[in-house]
Structure 1
Amino acid sequence: MTGTPDWFREGAEHIWLPYTQMKTAPAPLPAVKTEGVRITLADGRELIDGIASWWAAAHGYNHPHILQAVKSQLETMPHVMFGGLVNEPALKLSTRLAAMLPGDLNRCFIAESGSVSVEVAMKMAAQYYLNRGERRSKFVHFRGGYHGDTLGTMSVCDPDEGMHGHFKGLLKENLLANLPRTEAEAAAFTDFLIANKDDVAAVITEPLVQGAAGMVFHGPETLRWLREACDAADVLLIVDEIFTGFYRTGTQFAITQAGIVPDIVTLSKALSGGVSPLSVAVARDAVFDAFYDDDPLKALMHGPTYMGHALGCAAANASLDLFEREDYGVRVTAISDQLATELAPCRSLPNVKDVRVKGAIGVVQLEDASAIQALRAKFVEVGVWIRPFHDIVYLTPSLTIGADDLSFLTNAIHKVLSI
């Protein structure tokens, strides 16, 4: 590789990459700079980012408002422990999220990664019933679901999904179901949940999009059916908005389209604008009240070292500033319309099975996915950063992307798939 820096040559011998067979995978690309929707490589090439760093960089890279907030916080207090102490950015963020989310989702547990927020949500749900004198240890999850890579979250992912399938037998066994997509399926799911309610702490789902399953969409009515089923069975509902939150599906939160209030919602990724690791599990008042007691054993015993991270919360508050002061709903509508128009010609390509769009998510699904990994290098050759997986080529661009850059991405997909 021309222009390969020393740090790359030396460090490549010591790093362990995610989702990568280190023996056979091609070498990763050394990135040295980001700006807007562009990634600059060590050899000087620029790539237009079509997935916004796993859709976290919702405002684009290096947004000056977020960077300034982080710089200001860095000068005063990057971090202080959250045990017995609190900080202004964390409490301010909690207040703002409670105001943004529907209903009485008022109590925020601020952690680092999205997986941790789901672990916390599961722990909240299980202990909620323990504190009421009930032992419910099971979670209902869905085929095609994904909620993270830690042990607890893996137990509520699709057991046959490629990343976690070989851990069968090592994980806690939960209850796997089909996501209801019709009224008849919803009625059957309600009966199933009521029959198992004595063992079930919560139902957990991704709203509107099952991302890791291959960007599989479902309608808002599915979320309403799940809420109704949980109410009928006296079971908590956890909604994982880590991917979908903050306008990715067209509205501020995906649950907005269904008009429901989950018992616990998890947030991450776009929350901090792709600048800092940060996640939040937000619980309704009734969930929190089950822990609010004179008995110290009824407290939620969980506390990551970097909980309430002041620097990350400063980034998140700045990210919320941008979401509040600019009309991201209008932006996402424009992106959605453009994706639908410009990806439509892919339907006529010989290996294309489906083209679908929801909000700022564009998907081209392939009939034959045997060469899906080879497409990654081809996209780099034409100047874009797109990472196909399973049987899909997808776009989840920054919500600030311009029309010309978005067209460059969609044209690149058509060009590469035409070869």
Structure 2
Amino acid sequence: MDTRTLLDLDRAHVWHPYAPMPGAVEPFVVESASGVRLRLAEPVAGHRELVDGMSSWWAAIHGYGHPELDEAVRAQLGRMSHVMFGGLTHEPAVRLAARLVEITPEPLQHVFLADSGSVSVEVAVKMCLQYWQSLGRPAKRRLLTWRGGYHGDTFHPMSVCDPDGGMHALWTGVLPQQLFADEPPAGFDAPLDPAYADHLADLIERHADELAAVIVEPVVQGAGGMRFHSPAYLRLLRELCDRHDVLLVFDEIATGFGRTGELFAADHAGLSPDVLCLGKALTGGYLTMAATLCTPRVADGISRGRLPVLAHGPTFMGNPLAAAVANASLDLLLRQDWQVDIKRIETGLRDGLAAAADLPGVRDVRVLGAIGVVQLDHPVDMRAATAAAAEAGVWLRPFRDLIYTMPPYITEDADVARICEGVLAAAQTS
């Protein structure tokens, strides 16, 4: 199919994420991808290839077409591509669950495999609500989070996204009414703010009888604003939840598997939640899969209830292809010194983005692990910013007031520098 015909059909029939129908901005057509480069069907701004600064929404941590991941999919395809998980099991899923238990913080022991990050949050919420139902405390049915968060686009996850500044204000009055603390004070290295600590403590204490769980993105709030906060607030939440008999859920869909410089963001605080959500990089960006892990306390509580099962079962739960490539991705990540790569990228992003602080209209520049963020004092001109980055040979996906990058871990120094050039170009254009 020629490119023009493809784009015409795309505009007529394909509804892209966070876009109107028909689309207002013509997408770039990708014909293949290799390493950290996206090869386009036709040149854009003179470039046939763009360096991927997004890891395909933070998932493709090993880049594209990695021979070990390709082979894992091919080998599993020769055995079976899928089999239902109800009443059956198979080695790829069992190996994956055991591996996740091994590498996540204690005492997480039980793994529910789901289809996507948003569904893993749905499962986490269901676990928490059913836990309290099973213990004869049905009044504990609300969730508490802090503003500036994002947990997915299905209904319960939307209810704990930022209710005003996020994408889901349209659903106010339709979604369950949850409790929101103020945004955590900014700054990964900032000291704990006593006034904010009192604010959290007061909210949790006053609402403990109705709170099923507190759910937050640890250390990095992703699509809600790319904000960083101190791990000290995670330790405070763990203490408050224990004191007031409230479950603690960490959404590590974006931060898991090394992105922040630790294998899991919870590791920065040296603690474990009661429930942990994983996704995105779980399969190295090859196939959709997510996981919700919980402690024996949560699983045992549900199992003692009037309904002693977790009534949730996605059709493609535990998909063998996805599980096989997830195992291969974890093998690839953990046998190399991934922390050296993350630190190298962090250094490159700090050096390359430093000049953005002097640009007009830039409010803040921040870097943590393999995450670089330039925040403007006004909304991004997304069309112009994307075009400017492409002219620099880089693929970026700005949103709201943010131009940011989360490159694959294999990105070499020269390409990190090019990504920074793309971010600067986008910021100057916006």
* CA contact 1:186–1:226 (8 Å) conserved in 2: no
What residue in structure 2 maps to residue 252 of structure 1? 263
* CA contact 1:250–1:359 (8 Å) conserved in 2: yes
Q: Determine whether 1:113 maps to 2:116.
A: yes
What residue in structure 2 maps to residue 149 of structure 1? 153
* CA contact 1:245–1:252 (8 Å) conserved in 2: yes
What residue in structure 1 maps to residue 210 of structure 2? 199
- The CA deviation at 1:5 is 5.4
Relative distance call for 1:176 and 1:417 in structure 2 (3 A) is: closer
Residues 132-147 of structure 1 mapped to structure 2, 5 A cutoff? 132-135=135-138, 136-147=140-151
What residue in structure 1 maps to residue 57 of structure 2? 54
User: Secondary structure, in 3 states, of the residue corresponding to 2:42?
Assistant: coil
What residue in structure 2 maps to residue 38 of structure 1? 37
Residues 30-66 of structure 1: CA distance to partner in whole angstroms, max 9, x if unpaired? 1110101111111151111101101100111111111
Distance 1:287 1:122 in 2: 12
What residue in structure 1 maps to residue 182 of structure 2? 178
Which AA in structure 1 matches 2:13?
H
Aligned CA-pair RMSD: 1.6
Q: Determine whether 1:346 maps to 2:356.
A: yes
Distance 1:385 1:318 in 2: 26
Match 2:396 to one of 358, 364, 386: 386
Q: Determine whether 1:358 maps to 2:368.
A: yes
- The CA deviation at 1:416 is 4.0
- The CA deviation at 1:415 is 3.4
- The CA deviation at 1:412 is 2.3
Structure 1 segments of 4+ aligned residues over 6 angstroms from their partners:
none
User: Secondary structure, in 3 states, of the residue corresponding to 1:243?
Assistant: coil
Q: Determine whether 1:224 maps to 2:235.
A: yes
* CA contact 2:12–2:22 (8 Å) conserved in 1: no
What residue in structure 2 maps to residue 99 of structure 1? 102
* CA contact 1:332–1:360 (8 Å) conserved in 2: yes
Distance 1:324 1:24 in 2: 40
Q: Which segments of 5 or more consecutive residues in structure 1 lack a partner in the other structure? A: none
- The CA deviation at 1:372 is 4.0
Residues 100-145 of structure 1: CA distance to partner in whole angstroms, max 9, x if unpaired? 0111101000011000000000000000111111112100011111
Distance 1:198 1:392 in 2: 38
* CA contact 2:251–2:277 (8 Å) conserved in 1: yes
What residue in structure 2 maps to residue 26 of structure 1? 25
- The CA deviation at 1:345 is 1.1
User: Secondary structure, in 3 states, of the residue corresponding to 2:180?
Assistant: strand
Distance 1:262 1:24 in 2: 40
Q: Determine whether 1:78 maps to 2:114.
A: no
- The CA deviation at 1:195 is 1.7
Match 2:248 to one of 237, 240, 247: 237
Distance 1:347 1:145 in 2: 25
* CA contact 1:278–1:312 (8 Å) conserved in 2: yes
Match 1:333 to one of 309, 323, 343: 343
- The CA deviation at 1:184 is 2.9
Distance 2:73 2:418 in 1: 32
- The CA deviation at 1:214 is 2.1
User: Secondary structure, in 3 states, of the residue corresponding to 2:276?
Assistant: strand
TM-score (norm 1): 0.96
Distance 2:129 2:425 in 1: 50
- The CA deviation at 1:390 is 1.0
User: Secondary structure, in 3 states, of the residue corresponding to 2:39?
Assistant: strand
What residue in structure 2 maps to residue 397 of structure 1? 407
Match 1:267 to one of 268, 271, 278: 278
User: Secondary structure, in 3 states, of the residue corresponding to 1:291?
Assistant: helix
- The CA deviation at 1:357 is 0.4
Match 2:134 to one of 126, 131, 136: 131
What residue in structure 2 maps to residue 368 of structure 1? 378
Distance 2:380 2:57 in 1: 23
Which AA in structure 2 matches 1:70?
V
